[in-house]
Structure 1
Amino acid sequence: MGDLTGKTALVTGASRGIGRATAERLAADGALVAVHYGSDAAAAGEVVARIEKAGGQAFTVGATLGVAGDIDTLFTGLEAGLDEHGAGGAGLGILVNNAGVMGGVAPEDTTPALFDELVAVNAKAPFFIIQRALRIMPDGGRVINISSGLTRFANPNEIAYAMTKGAVEMLALHYAKYLGPRGITVNSVAPGVTRNGNPVFDVPEAVEQMAALSAFHRIGEPGDIADVVAFLASDEARWITGAFLDATGGTLAG
């Protein structure tokens, strides 16, 4: 993979799961990583500690997404952290929009409040995070949005969630065209069933059923997705933009 030394990165929702693995991978490749969290400051601190123990650089940024003032809070913390680490002049080279919430309820039980929350966190926040990030992103930057295999694979209990992830994919398609002249790439990565700390992954029967969806007959690990993100963040991926990368382990193959 490409050497990210001298690069800066922001990974939203990086206190656990895919976000955590991504933050650790980008730091291992040399980037200074802002580890964003919504509510679990202790978990985010543990991620930073793991990165520093491995010889990398990172700092935490706390901001609850989907509420008034969220973008200002996020970028105030981000810019302060960059300045503190002597990287304020570098701007933000890599943005990974990973933070999100799932619905997990039947269509008839989806309330307007839940729908609004899903849209606010999963679709609105990434749009305005990109908008703000572009003020400090140098030419040649990278934007990677975490979508979901559920934009191609039906699950009636996640209709609203899948709708928001479809919106995220449109960010990549249209922003790629807009930002091409600056050499900034924008892509979507779609995980499938990926271990995320949910108690269901501790149930062998459930894991067996989920694993059967993949061509490899196993569930995804956060590191599987982090490696794809790291590739897109590298110079080797400079000719890929506006793309949908299927990282479902073959689940979408049918």
Structure 2
Amino acid sequence: MDWLAVASGFVIGAIVGLTGVGGGSLMTPLLMGVFHLSAPVAIGTDLWFAAITKTNGSIAHHRQGHVDYGIVAWMLLGSIPATVITIMLMRYTGMTKGVSHLMMQVLGVALLMTAAAVACRPFCHALGLKLDALLTTSRRRALTVLAGLLLGVLVSLSSIGAGAIGATLTLVLYPRLPIQRLIGTDIAHAAVLTLVAGLGHAALGNVDWLLLASLLVGSLPGIWLGARLIRSLPDKVTRGLLCASLVTAGLRVIH
């Protein structure tokens, strides 16, 4: 058992429990910076960490009736083909220095996009309400598929985007969706997406299974603690701390 990995999983789990997002966004930079994994292996390991934790979360939301499976299906219609094609291209091109560099750049951009998504969520909700009257059912479904396509590529190349960015896109397209169903729907889609992407990276040999096990051991009590602490910290404080962490990590990765 790697106790540093257990402690790292605990910290990431606490952040997820405290903010609802940030697991993948902080886990991949941590795996690269602290455990010195290459970008592809860090991304693959994080995808499995996300798939397992989000599957547990999606089951809980399903039991409470907080998942809109119609939205999940339309989003998966775009994200799964995009993921499969991206993984196939990675396999075809091989893990060259050029591909690893591209993954690093995508990772940095994804971190900054996640920070923007977390910071601008209230604005995105207002934007969604303005667009609501202009979107017909067919247009909304087409945009949902397009959002899924974007997430599929982003998650496959960086392991980031299924949480905060996915929830933000869902918020813009479905602003009248109750917050519980928005979160449950986003987690359900992310669970399937990260699992498919994780299977692809596993086939490429991009997963450190022993490190993954240690991370999961620490994450469970961390999530529980974070969920309890959220009651005592203002939303603006947790949102600000998360944004600062994401921007710092993103700038370091791009640099």
Could you say whether these structures have the same fold, taking a TM-score greater than 0.5 normalized by the shorter chain as the test? no
The alignment's TM-score, normalised by the length of structure 1, stands at 0.29
The alignment's TM-score, normalised by the length of structure 2, stands at 0.29
Higher RCO by CA contacts (8 Å cutoff, separation 6 or greater): 2
More strand by share: 1
